[in-house]
Structure 1
Amino acid sequence: MEGRADRTTQGPTAHAPLIGRRAALRVLDQALDSALGGSFRFLALSGDPGAGKTRLLAELAELAEVRKLPVLGGRAAEFEQQMPFGALVDAVDDRLELNRPALNLETARLLSTVFPALTGAWTAGPANGAPAVAPARGDTGGGPFGVARYQLHRAVRHLLEELAADNGLVLLLDDVHWADDASIELLGYLVRHPPRARMLIGVAYRPAQAAPRLATLVDIAGEHGVSVSADPFTPGEVEEFLGPDVSRSRSQALYEASGGNPFYLEALARRLGGRDGASEPSLAEEPGWGALSDLGEITELPPAVRTALQVELSGLDETALLVARAAAVAADEFEPALAAAGAEITEERALVALDDLAARDVVRPASAGRFRFRHPLVRHVVYGSAAAGWRLGSHSRIARHLAELGAPATLRAHHVERSAGYGDQPAIATLVEAARTVAPQAPATAAHWLRAALRLMPEDPEPGSAAAGENGDAPLSRVRLLSELAHAQTVSGRLLEGVETARTLLRLLPPGDHARRARAVQMCAVIERQLHRHQEARALVLDELRRIPDPQAPAAVLLRVRLVADRLMRVDIRGAQAVLDRMPENAPDWEPGLRLAVASLRVMPAYGGGRKAEAVAYAEAAEKVFAAAPDSHIAEALDTVPWLCWSEIMMGRYDDALRRIERSIAVARSTGQASYITYLLNAQARAYTLLGRLAEAADAAEEATETARLLRSGEALVFGLTQQCLVATWSGDHDRALRLGEEAVAGDLGAGEWWGAMARFAHGVALVNSGRTEEGAAAALEACGDPAAPELDPSTLLSCAEMLAQIEASRGKDGDPGRWADIADMLAEIGMPADAGLAKLARAHAARPFDPAAAAVLATEAASLLAAAGRRLEAGRAELAAGLAHQAAGERDPARERLRAAAELFEACGAQALLAQTARERRRLGVRVATPRRGGQGDEPFGLSPREYEIAMLVAQGCTNQQVAEKLFLSVRTVETHLSRVFTKLGVTSRVGVATALNARPGDRDS
C-alpha cells in the first residue's frame, strides 16, 4: 500500500511512497534480474484481502519498466469467476488489438477461442507472412469439446514467447484466487513447461481462498519459482503510513482495529480522518459506526471496516449510489452504458453519476472509456449493499441489454444465471449455448453453466411420449444435458462429480431402456476406473448385464466389451478370451461402432496367448473394418481402439498402428473423448520410441501426460509418465527419467494391472541406464511378476529379458546371462518382427564373456534383423554390442565399423547418452570423433542434460560450487550431485578435466 490515506478525495496516488516491504522488494528485484538474464521466473505473491498485493504488483511493474521490460497486467474478478481465462484476456487482449504477433494459422485459430482480439484472425490468413498451417483433422467440428486443452496451452505459451521475443515480458495477474479452473490449468502448464523467453509471470492471490492447484504452483515451478508474502504492517509502519499529523495513540488504535492490514487501515483512516486530541472519541463511538445497516452485510470484512466503507457510500446521492450498485452488478471493468442499463436510467445521467463516483475515488477510469472500482473489496461492499431483489432485476436488465447488442451467450450467461426463473426456456438455451461454447477450453465453466441450466429445467416428459422427441433425447432434454454435464465434469478432472452425475442419469433412465442404460453404465465404469475404483466399475457392469434378458443383445455385448478391456488391463488373457468367446463377431442389429469395438479387442488375446497366425488374421480383419468405418463409427469405439493400436505395436505392425492412432486421435479430439486420447498418445509415443523417433515420442508422451493431469486421472497419468520416462532415459536425460519413473511408480496404487507394471519396468530401465544397475535389475524383475501370471505383455517381457542378459553378461564369469537368453528365445517363439533380433541380441550378451568373436557375429545379425523391423534404437544398441565384442576379441577394424554404424543410428535417433558412450569407445580405438557443439536446447555434448551442461560450463569458467549454486539458485549439494554425473559422462575426475573436455577442439569424424 501507499503512504498516508488521508489525502484528497481522489485517494491514494499510484506513485505514493511504499511503506515497508523491503524484503519483498529484494525478492522482486532478484526475480526481475533473473528474468532479464534469460531465466524464466514464476512469482507467487500471497496475502490476505487488502494486504497490499496489488500495490506490490504495481511496484513490480515499475521495477520492470526501469529495466525496460514490457509489462502486461490483468485481474480476475469476484463476480465473474466463471469467465474462462478472464485475467489473461484482461492482460493481453488490448496488446493483441494494437500489435498482433506473427502466428501461423493453426495457432491463431486456437488462440482466437480465448482472445477476442484474434477473433477472425485465423480465417483472414497468417499475420506478417507467417506460414499457413491447415487446421488439424478432426479439430473443427463434432461436438462441444472440439479443441484439446493441451494444444491451447501450448499455443498460449507460443504467444507469450512471441510477445517476449524482442524485449522480454512481465505478465502480472492479480486476484487469481478468483480465476476459473481453465486459468489455473494454464498456469500449471506454463510452470511445468516454462516459455523459452526472458519472462516473469507474477500472480497475486489470497491463500485462504486459493485452490490447492493454485497454492502449489510455486512448488511445481521448482527452481523457477519464488514466493513473496504481503504481511500486515507493524505498528511503526502504521505510523509511517498515517503520517505525522496522527497521534501515536490514534495510530495505535487504528493499528489494533485494522490488524495492520493496509486496506482496512486506509478505510478506517478515510472515515476518521486525521483528527487528534486527548478527548477524541473511540472508534466504537464514531458517528455512524454502527448505523446504515440497510447497506447490507459483507461477512468477510471486519465489522469496523465494513461500516467504514458503508459510511463512505452513505455520502453518495441517490443516483450515484444507484449507478455504483449497477456497476458492481455489471462487470469488474464496466462501460457507462452497461451501468446505465442496470440502473435503468439514461446513459447521460449515468455519466454524471460516474463523475461524482470518480471524484470520491469510489471508481477510477480504466482503459477505452471504461471504469473500475478502486479496489475489489469496494465493489464487494457496493454489490452487497444492494437489495437482493433489486440485484436480480439489474442482472436481468443487463442481460437483455447485452442480448440487444448481439453479445455472445458467454457474456450473457453470468447475468442470466443470476436472474432467470424456473422454466425460463430462453435462459436455459443461453446457458447451454454458453456451456457448449466454452467446453473445449474451459470444461469446468461449461459444467457450472450446465448445472445452472438443469436447475432451471422442468422435469422431462416420460420417455417415448410425443413431447419427448426421438428416443426421449431432445437437444435440451434433461437426459442429454446430464450426459453433457457428466462429460464436462470428467474432462475437467472433477471425476467424483462426473460419476455421480452419470449415476443420476442412470437412475433417470427406465429399466427397459437397455441401449441407453448400457451407454450410461459404460460411462460410469470408465470414470470409476479413473478413480482407481476398478471393483466398483466391474460390479456396475455385471449388475447391469444381469438386467438384460438377451445375453446376445447389442447392449449386453457393449457391456461385455467393457469386461474384456478390464481383463486385458489385468493381463488376464484367458479371462478376456473367455468373455470374447461368448460374443459373435457381428450381428444384424449391431451398430457399426460395436462391430469395430469387438474386432479391435480380438487381436490382443490372440497375441498374448501366443497364437501368431490368429492374431495376424484378427489384426487384418480389424484393419478392414476400421478402414471402411466413417469417423462417427470410430467415435463410438474409442474405448477399444487403443487396444488394437497397442496390439499392432507389440506385433511390429508400426505403420498400421501409427495411421490408426493418428486418425483416432483426431476423432477423439473432435468428439471431446479426452479419456481415450491419453491411451492413444501413449501408444503413439511407444511406437515412436521403438522406431527410434525420440523427439516425436517425447512430444506425444508430453501431451499424454499433460492431458492426464487435466483429467486428474491417476491411471492415465502413470501411462504418460511411463512413456516420458522411457523416452528420457533413451534420450540420455537420466535425471529427468528417474524423476518421471519415480512419479510413475508412486502413482501406481497397487491395482496389479499392466500400467503399474509398465511403470516399474520403465523405472528399472532408467535406473540401469543411469548406472544404478542392481537397483534397476531388481525393479525390472519385480515388474515382470509371477512367471505363471506375468504382469507385462510378451513384447515388454522380451525387452526385459534382453536387458537382464546384458546386465548378467557385464558381471563376466560370475553372471548367468544364458538363463535370460533362453527366456528371450522362448518369448520370441511367437515370431513377430524384431522379436528374433532381440532374442539374438540377448544370446550375443550371453556369449560375450566366453566367446567375444561369436558374440560379435550374433550381435551383427541382431542389428540386421532389428534394422529390417524398423527398430533403429535397438539396432544401434546391437551394433554397439557388436563393436564392443569385436574390440574384446582384438578385431579393431570390424569394431570401428560397427561402432561407426552405431553412432550414426544413435545420432539419427537422438540417443545422446548412447552416442556419447559410443564416441568414447571409438576414441579408445584411435578414431578421432568430433565433440558435438551445443546447437540448442536438448542438444548438449557428451550426453549431458541441459542442467548438467549449464553447471559444467560454469565450472569450466572457474566458478566454485558455491558460486554455481548462487548463480543458478540451487543448493550446493544439488550442484555437487550434478557435477559427479558430469565427471562420469565426460570420463574425467577433476574440474580441470571438465574444462579440458568442454574446450577441446573438435577433430575429424574418423581417421
Structure 2
Amino acid sequence: MPLSADPGALWAGRVAETAMLREAVASLHTGTGGVVWIEGEPGIGKSSLVAVGAGIATDLGYQVLRGVADQLVHPPPLGVLCDCLEIGTRSSDPRRTEIAAFLSARRPALDLADATYATAVEMVVALVDELCSTGPTVLIVDDVQWADDASLDACRRLASAAVHLPLLLVLSYRPGSHRPAVQRLRPVASDRDALRISLGPLDQAAVFDLLTGLLGAPPGAGLVGLAAQAMGNPLYLRELAESLVREEMVDVGVQAEVRDPAFATVPRSLAAALDSRLSYVPAETVDLLRVATLLGGEFAVTELAVLLGRPAIDFSGHLNEAVAAGILVDAGPRMRFRHPLIRQALHDSMPAALRAAVHLDAARALEAASVEPQRVAAHLLASGVVGDRWARRWLTEAGPLLAGRTPQLAAELLRRELDHDPTDDRERAVLGMTLARVLLGTGQHEEATVRARQALAVVVEPADRGHLCWVLARALFSGGHNDAAAAALRRALNAVDLPDVWRARLLASLAMFQRAGRGDLAAADVTARNALEISEAAGDAFAAAYALTDMWTSHSVRRQHRLALDCVDRAIETLGTTADHVDLRAFALHGRIFSLQNLSRWTDAEGALREVREFLHRAGRADDTTSGVTAGVLMYWLGRWDDALAELHAVEQNGSASTYRGLREGGPGWLWHGVAAVVAARRDERAEAAAHLRAVSDRPVVTVADRENTDFLRVGRSLAAEQDGDRPLALALLGDFLERRPGEMTLTHQWLPGLVRLALAVDDRSAAETAVRACLAEAAAEQVPARAAAAADWCRGLHDGDPVPLRSAVDHYRRAGAPVDLAGALEDLGVVLARCGETAEARAVLDEAIELYGGFGAAWDIRRAGARLRAYGVRRGVRGARVKRAGHGWEALTPTERKVALLVAAGRSTPDIAQSMFLTRRTTQTHISRILAKLGMRSRVEIARAAFSAEPDGVTADH
C-alpha cells in the first residue's frame, strides 16, 4: 500500500507557518520584499515549507530561484548562488555568462590586493537587483548553514536590500554552525523586517493528523504510542510509516494499527530507520549510492560514470531501482538524493578507510576527465590523504589556479601538505609560495609572513625569490611591521641574480614603505627614481607606475601639487588601457582627485571621481571601498553632507578587504569614522558623533600612513570637547596638527583656521601665531597659489583682525566652489568686521554664512556663529535662514536623492542608476533607503507614485 500523495497530509500542524509564508510571498505584489528565515532541526520540515513557498510564488507568476547548499561538498565561491541563479557559461543570458566567465577566468593577482570575489559578489547582487526590476522574485537558499562564504556574504547583502525591492529572500537554517561567515549572516533573522519561522516538533494532534494523511486512516493506540518515539519530527514519522508499510506491519481499515503489539519500538536514530528503507534495495545499488554520495546532494550521471570507470548504461538499472525506492529523484539533467539525511546516512555508513580511498580515486578520475580543479580539491580534502605523490604533484601544478578560484580550500590543502613536510625542496617552495599568496590575498598577514619565510628558505629560482619577497614585505607592512618589511626588501635587493623586473617592483615597494612607514622622504625619492629607471629599461609598466605613484606621494608631502598631478597622470598613462593592475590604477586615480582638490580644482575633482567609478565599473569593481571613502571626503568639502554619509554608509556595508590600512583596520577604519563624526558633530548630533569616535578609539596609530588617516578623527574629538565647554582641550587636540611628522601628507592647512579661532578664544596668542606660521609655510610650498594660500589668508586675517586677507580667502573659495571653507571664512570675516565696527557688512556676511551652514545642516556652526556675532551686537538679518533639513516629504530629499527617486520611478534598476549617476551600487541603495524613510514609504512602487505626483515631467527626463 503506497502512502498518501495528498500534500495536505504533510502539512498537518504547519498551518500557521504556511499562512505566514503565504502572506510574505503575496506582499511582493506591492513592491515590498523582505527576508524569511526558517530554522529547525534536521527533518523538521524546513525544506518542505520552502517548497510550499516556492509553489505559492510560482502560482502567482513570480520568478522563483532556488539553490540548496550541501554539507558534504566544498562548492567554489558563490557556487550555491550560481546554482540558484543558473549562472553558467552556457546560459542564454549574457549577464549570467559574464559572471561565469569572470569567476572561471580568475587568477591570483600581483596587484596591491585581490578583491575579485568581492567583485563577483557585487555582480551577483546586481544581477538579482536587475531580475527584480522585471517582476517579483523569490530567491531561496536551502540549508544556508552549509553555503560557501561568498554566497553567505551575498545573502547578507541581499537581505539588507530586499526590503526595498520586490525580492523575498528565503533562507532555511539548521542551528549549530559556528563558522564566522554564518555567524555574520545570523543577525538578519533578528532584523525588524525579517519574518522568522522556528519549526518545532509537531504536537500530538498534528502527529495524529499527519499519520492519518499518510496512511489513509486514523492511527490506533499502538501506532500512536510507537510514533511518540519519533519526537514529533515529520521526517522520522514519514520514515516510520513507510517502513511499516514496506514490512507489512500495519493494517489499514477503520484505523491504521500495527499488526504485532510486540513491535513497540522505533529506532532512535534516523540512520537505523533508513537502514530499514535500504534493506529492500539490492546491495549493488546501495554500494553504487554510497559512491554517488561523494559527488554531492545532486550529481551528474556522467560524473558518476567517470568515478566508477563504467559507462552509464552499465548501472542505469541500479539508478532506476534507487528512484523506485524513493532514494533518488530526477533533477533535470542530474539526479538528487530525496532526503539529505538519506545521503548522510549512506555516506557515513562507509568505513572511514574505504571512504578516504574512494575520495582519492574520485580526485584522480575527475582530474583525468579535466573537471574543474575545485572539484578535484574537494575530494582530496575529504580523503584526508597527505603525502600522496600524485596528489602533491597535482597540487603543485594546479595550486595557483586553485588558489585563484577557491582560496580557502586551497589554503587548507596547502597547509596540510606543507605541515607534512615535503622532502622535495622544489615542491615545498612552490606550495609555500602559493600558500603565502593565498593568505596575503585573504588578509591573514601573520601566517602569510611565516609561510613566505619558510618558502624563501628553499626557493631556488631568482624570479620566485623576488616574488616571495614582495609577498613577504606586503604581509609584514599590512600587519603593521613596517621596519621588518623594509628590511626584507633590502635583503632581497642585495641578491645579484634578482631579475630587473622584480628589482624594480621591490624598489617601488621599498620607496612606499620608507615614506609611509618611517617618513624618510629623501630616501623614498632616491629609491623611487631608481625603481623608475630600472622599470623603464625592463619594460615593466607595473613597476614604473608604482614608482610614479611613490613620486606623487613625495610631491604631495612637499605641497608641490602640480608636480604631483603630473606624476600621477604619467602613472595612469603608463598603465595604459588594459585591464591589468586594477588596484594600482585605482590608487593612481584616487591620487589624482587628492591633487585636484589641493589645487582648488573642485569641479575637476568631481569629474575625476566619475572617471574612477567608470573605470572601476568596467573592471567589475563598482563598489570599491576606497572609492567610497574618497567620495565621502570630497562630498564633505563640497558641502553635500547627506551624499557624504550615504557614501560612508555604503563603505560600512562592504564586507570586502581593502589594501588601505586606514580603511581596513577593524572594518571601515579611521577615515570614514572621522568624516562621519565631524558631520555629526557639526550637525549637533552628539551621540552619533560620540559613537563614531568610540568605534576607533582603541586602534593604535603605528605608521605615518596611519596618522594621515586620523585627521578627521582629531577634528571630531576637538569639536566634541568644544561642545562640552572645554575649549582648552579642544585647542590641544587641534594643536597636534602643528607637530607634522617627517614625510606626513596630512593637509594641516585645512584645519588651521579652526585652530586659530580656538586659540584666540582662549587667549593663547602663541598657539595662534604658530598656526599662522605653519599655514604660511604650507602656502609658500605651493607652486601656484591654491588651497593652502587661501587658508593662510584666512588664518592671517583672523589672527590680525584684518578683513582684507579674509576677503581674499572668501573670494578664492567662492570662485573655486568650496562651500564648506567659504562658510567658515565668512563667519570669521563677520567677526572681524564686527570688531572693526562695520556692522552692516558683518550682518550680511553672517547671513550668507548661516545660509550656507543651513544647507549643510550644520546646526552647531549656526549657533556658534550667531553667538560670536551677538557678542558684538550683530544679529541675523535673514530670519528664514535655518537648518534646511526637513525630516519628511518630497521637499526633504537632497538633489541627489531626487535624481535617484526619479530614476526609480522611470523603472531603472539599482545598478543602472548607480552607473548613470557615477555612484556605487551600495551608495545608490543607501540613497533609496533614505528616500523611503523621508517619504514614509516601503517600496519602489510608492517612490514612483510620489515622484509622478511631485515632478511628473522629471520622471522621463535624462538625468
Larger relative contact order (Cα-Cα within 8 Å, sequence gap ≥ 6):
2
Q: Does the CA-based 8 Å contact 1:758-1:783 persist in structure 2?
A: no
Q: Does the CA-based 8 Å contact 1:599-1:621 persist in structure 2?
A: yes
Q: Does the CA-based 8 Å contact 2:718-2:730 persist in structure 1?
A: no
Q: How is 1:565-576 mapped onto 2 (pairs within 5 angstroms)?
A: 565=512, 568-569=515-516, 573=519
Gaps of 5+ in 1: 1-7, 120-137, 290-302, 463-476, 955-963, 969-997, 1001-1007
Tell me if 1:439 matches 2:439. no
CA distance in 2, matches of 1:386, 1:681: 52
| Residue aligning to 1:230 | 199
Tell me if 1:924 matches 2:879. yes
Give the alignment partner of residue 329 of structure 2, picking from 337, 359, 364.
364
Give the alignment partner of residue 263 of structure 1, picking from 232, 235, 240.
235
Give CA-to-partner distance per residue, 1:336-388, whole Å, 9 cap, x none. Answer: 4444554555534544333322222112222x243211111111122233456
| Residue aligning to 2:750 | 799
Aligned-pair CA distance for 1:172: 1.0
Q: Which secondary structure state, in structure 2, belongs to the residue aligned with residue 364 of structure 1? A: strand
CA distance in 2, matches of 1:16, 1:804: 76
CA distance in 1, matches of 2:396, 2:231: 43
| Residue aligning to 1:374 | 338
CA distance in 2, matches of 1:633, 1:64: 44
Give the alignment partner of residue 48 of structure 1, picking from 35, 41, 48.
41
Q: How is 1:106-117 mapped onto 2 (pairs within 5 angstroms)?
A: 110-113=98-101
Tell me if 1:316 matches 2:270. no
**Bigger shift: 634-643 or 40-49?**
634-643
CA distance in 2, matches of 1:692, 1:143: 34
Q: Does the CA-based 8 Å contact 2:663-2:670 persist in structure 1?
A: no
Tell me if 1:334 matches 2:289. no
Tell me if 1:185 matches 2:185. no
Q: CA 1:543–1:338 in 2, change beyond 3 Å: closer, same or farther?
A: closer
Q: Which secondary structure state, in structure 2, belongs to the residue aligned with residue 716 of structure 1? A: helix
Give CA-to-partner distance per residue, 1:114-166, whole Å, 9 cap, x none. Answer: 799xx9xxxxxxxxxxxxxxxxxx99998999873343333222211221124
Q: CA 1:502–1:858 in 2, change beyond 3 Å: closer, same or farther?
A: same
Aligned-pair CA distance for 1:834: 0.3
| Residue aligning to 2:696 | 746
Q: Does the CA-based 8 Å contact 1:840-1:861 persist in structure 2?
A: yes
Aligned-pair CA distance for 1:178: 1.6
| Residue aligning to 1:980 | none
| Residue aligning to 2:813 | 866
Tell me if 1:834 matches 2:787. yes
| Residue aligning to 2:262 | 280
**Bigger shift: 85-94 or 36-45?**
36-45
| Residue aligning to 1:717 | 664
Q: How is 1:462-541 mapped onto 2 (pairs within 5 angstroms)?
A: 479-509=429-459, 517=465, 519-531=467-479, 534-535=480-481, 538-539=483-484, 541=486
Q: Does the CA-based 8 Å contact 2:44-2:199 persist in structure 1?
A: yes
Give the alignment partner of residue 712 of structure 2, picking from 762, 786, 793.
762
Give CA-to-partner distance per residue, 1:708-753, whole Å, 9 cap, x none. Answer: 6446997532584555456667989978994897288437522354
Aligned-pair CA distance for 1:92: 1.7
Q: Does the CA-based 8 Å contact 1:362-1:378 persist in structure 2?
A: yes
| Residue aligning to 1:216 | 184
Tell me if 1:304 matches 2:269. yes
Amino acid in structure 2 at the alignment position of 1:263? L
CA distance in 1, matches of 2:881, 2:459: 77
Amino acid in structure 2 at the alignment position of 1:359? A
Aligned-pair CA distance for 1:88: 1.4
Q: CA 1:638–1:443 in 2, change beyond 3 Å: closer, same or farther?
A: farther
Amino acid in structure 2 at the alignment position of 1:357? A
Tell me if 1:16 matches 2:9. yes
Q: Which secondary structure state, in structure 1, belongs to the residue aligned with residue 751 of structure 2? A: helix
Aligned-pair CA distance for 1:174: 0.8
Q: CA 1:714–1:304 in 2, change beyond 3 Å: closer, same or farther?
A: farther
**Bigger shift: 72-81 or 784-793?**
784-793
CA distance in 2, matches of 1:790, 1:26: 65
Q: CA 1:822–1:144 in 2, change beyond 3 Å: closer, same or farther?
A: closer
TM-score by length of 2: 0.70
Aligned-pair CA distance for 1:835: 1.3
CA distance in 2, matches of 1:422, 1:139: 26
| Residue aligning to 1:1003 | none
Amino acid in structure 1 at the alignment position of 2:198? S
Q: Which secondary structure state, in structure 2, belongs to the residue aligned with residue 520 of structure 1? A: helix
Amino acid in structure 1 at the alignment position of 2:175? P
Amino acid in structure 1 at the alignment position of 2:791? L
Aligned-pair CA distance for 1:76: 1.0
Q: CA 1:345–1:394 in 2, change beyond 3 Å: closer, same or farther?
A: farther
CA distance in 1, matches of 2:199, 2:726: 47
| Residue aligning to 2:125 | 157
Q: Does the CA-based 8 Å contact 1:454-1:478 persist in structure 2?
A: yes
Q: CA 1:82–1:112 in 2, change beyond 3 Å: closer, same or farther?
A: closer
Amino acid in structure 1 at the alignment position of 2:774? M
Give CA-to-partner distance per residue, 1:500-537, whole Å, 9 cap, x none. Answer: 43233233336xx8875565344234334444xx35x6
Q: Does the CA-based 8 Å contact 2:440-2:471 persist in structure 1?
A: no
Aligned-pair CA distance for 1:204: 1.8
Tell me if 1:384 matches 2:370. no
Give CA-to-partner distance per residue, 1:597-633, whole Å, 9 cap, x none. Answer: 566546656765xx556x8768767866775577899
Q: Which secondary structure state, in structure 1, belongs to the residue aligned with residue 85 of structure 2? A: helix
CA distance in 1, matches of 2:445, 2:690: 24
| Residue aligning to 1:1004 | none
Amino acid in structure 1 at the alignment position of 2:48? R
CA distance in 1, matches of 2:43, 2:643: 48
TM-score by length of 1: 0.67
Q: CA 1:938–1:638 in 2, change beyond 3 Å: closer, same or farther?
A: closer
Amino acid in structure 2 at the alignment position of 1:49? P
| Residue aligning to 1:472 | none
CA distance in 2, matches of 1:203, 1:372: 20
Q: CA 1:248–1:871 in 2, change beyond 3 Å: closer, same or farther?
A: farther
Gaps of 5+ in 2: 251-256, 867-875, 902-925, 940-948, 952-959
Q: Which secondary structure state, in structure 2, belongs to the residue aligned with residue 358 of structure 1? A: helix
Tell me if 1:201 matches 2:169. yes
Q: Which secondary structure state, in structure 1, belongs to the residue aligned with residue 72 of structure 2? A: helix
| Residue aligning to 1:88 | 81
Q: Does the CA-based 8 Å contact 1:597-1:640 persist in structure 2?
A: no
Q: Which secondary structure state, in structure 2, belongs to the residue aligned with residue 372 of structure 1? A: strand
Amino acid in structure 1 at the alignment position of 2:408? A
| Residue aligning to 2:913 | none
- Superposition CA RMSD, Å: 6.1
Q: Which secondary structure state, in structure 2, belongs to the residue aligned with residue 486 of structure 1? A: helix
Give the alignment partner of residue 135 of structure 2, picking from 167, 185, 195.
167
Q: CA 1:323–1:927 in 2, change beyond 3 Å: closer, same or farther?
A: closer
Give CA-to-partner distance per residue, 1:444-483, whole Å, 9 cap, x none. Answer: 3454566689799975566xxxxxxxxxxxxxx6534533
Q: CA 1:155–1:381 in 2, change beyond 3 Å: closer, same or farther?
A: same
CA distance in 1, matches of 2:223, 2:85: 44
Aligned-pair CA distance for 1:841: 4.1
